Chain A
Amino acid sequence: MKTIQELEEIRKKTLEKISIRKDRKGTRVVVGMATCGIAAGARPVLLAFLEEVNKRGLKDVIVSQTGCIGVCEYEPIVEVYRPGEEKVTYVKMTPEKVARVVAEHLVNGKVVTEYTIGSYGK
């Protein structure tokens, strides 16, 4: 069973480890979580992003949720904002696709073109 005492330990460890995320100006990953997104499977996609980003210790990446992005038929939709770059919109996302987006786009800066809205249906 997880306890609050453990949380206290985690707090100490985290404080020692890092100058925690003072820089919040990094990459933003936004998952569309309106009714359309949720019904299409946005929750496992959001969770997969949170897990992957944590696993890799990407400290300058923020994962958050938003409402309807407007093209419900392409949900689950994920938008990636990186400073100084154009927004990238990924469509029909799945937890499996998330691992690749994190590894190639968030870590190495290379957009996974085949998952983007521009390539969809081609």
Chain B
Amino acid sequence: MREISLHILDVATNSIEAGASLIEIQVEEDTGSDLLWFTVKDNGKGMDKEFVKEVTNPFFTSRKSRKVGLGLSLLQAVCERCEGKLIIKSRLGTGTTVEATFRHSHIDRPPLGNIADTILGLILANPAVDFCYVHVYNGRKFHIDTREIKKVLRGVPIDSPDVAIWLRDYLRNGLKDISGGVKE
């Protein structure tokens, strides 16, 4: 995985597999305290204690098509390589929260990458799931919540062509605004 935004897509995809109807994603970049932090919180089926303990073990997976599960193990390795850590909290029947931290300036930290496309892809490919995305860059905040958007749309599907283009531009422009157009 070359971008942190791809890890976020991977974790959020787990939430979809867990049957979540609401996925809250938050990314915070603070160059002052030299921290990059993200969380993915869902209201999916959750995991029991034993499952949580095993979930970063690469030789443990819930899928049937392979005997390895690399998603969270890779993410944990990246966090630890960058003086951060991965924390997974889950309750059966309630949901799961995955929290990852990195030292922002660490030489091994992958770029955040194209987070706008991660969020756009999730929203458009899963129109029945709600997403709340908050991005804070040095105190400046961008947020998008599909529950608010669906309220405005009143029955018009969120994946209709013109809405999709609006979402794309809203995300791209909004994220550019808070970061001052700085690209990694």
A residues near B, CB below 8 A?
Answer: 1-2, 4, 6-8, 10-11, 13-15, 20-21, 31, 33-36, 38-39, 43-44, 46-47, 50, 54-55, 57, 63-65, 67-70, 72
Q: Which one of A2, A8, A44, A65 contacts B125 once the chains associate, using CB atoms below 8 Å?
A: A65
Instruction: Decide: B70 and A20 in contact? CB cutoff 8 A.
Output: no
For the complex of A and B, the 10 pairs showing the least CB-CB separation, nearest first, are A70-B65, A2-B170, A35-B71, A54-B161, A65-B125, A10-B162, A46-B121, A11-B156, A64-B125, A14-B156
Instruction: Decide: B174 and A2 in contact? CB cutoff 8 A.
Output: yes
Chain A contact residues: helix, strand, loop or mixed: helix
Instruction: Decide: B9 and A38 in contact? CB cutoff 8 A.
Output: yes
- Separation of A43 and B174 alpha carbons in the complex (Å): 20
* Number of B positions contacting A (CB below 8 A): 42
Instruction: Decide: A38 and B13 in contact? CB cutoff 8 A.
Output: yes
B161 → chain A, closest Cβ, in Å?
Answer: 4
- Separation of A13 and B156 alpha carbons in the complex (Å): 10
Q: Which one of B125, B162, B169 contacts A13 once the chains associate, using CB atoms below 8 Å?
A: B162
**In the complex, chain B residues whose CB is within 8 Å of the CB of A72:** 66
Instruction: Decide: B125 and A54 in contact? CB cutoff 8 A.
Output: no
Instruction: Decide: B13 and A33 in contact? CB cutoff 8 A.
Output: yes
Given contacts A2-B174, A8-B152, A68-B65, contact A35 B10 (CB under 8 A): yes
B54 → chain A, closest Cβ, in Å?
Answer: 16
**In the complex, chain A residues whose CB is within 8 Å of the CB of B157:** 20-21
A88 → chain B, closest Cβ, in Å?
Answer: 19
Q: Which one of A35, A43, A64, A65 contacts B70 once the chains associate, using CB atoms below 8 Å?
A: A35
Please name 11 further chain A to chain B contacts, defined as beta carbons within 8 Å, in addition to the given A4-B148, A34-B63, A38-B6, sorted by A numbering. Answer: A2-B166, A10-B156, A14-B163, A31-B125, A33-B125, A35-B69, A38-B1, A47-B120, A50-B164, A55-B161, A69-B65
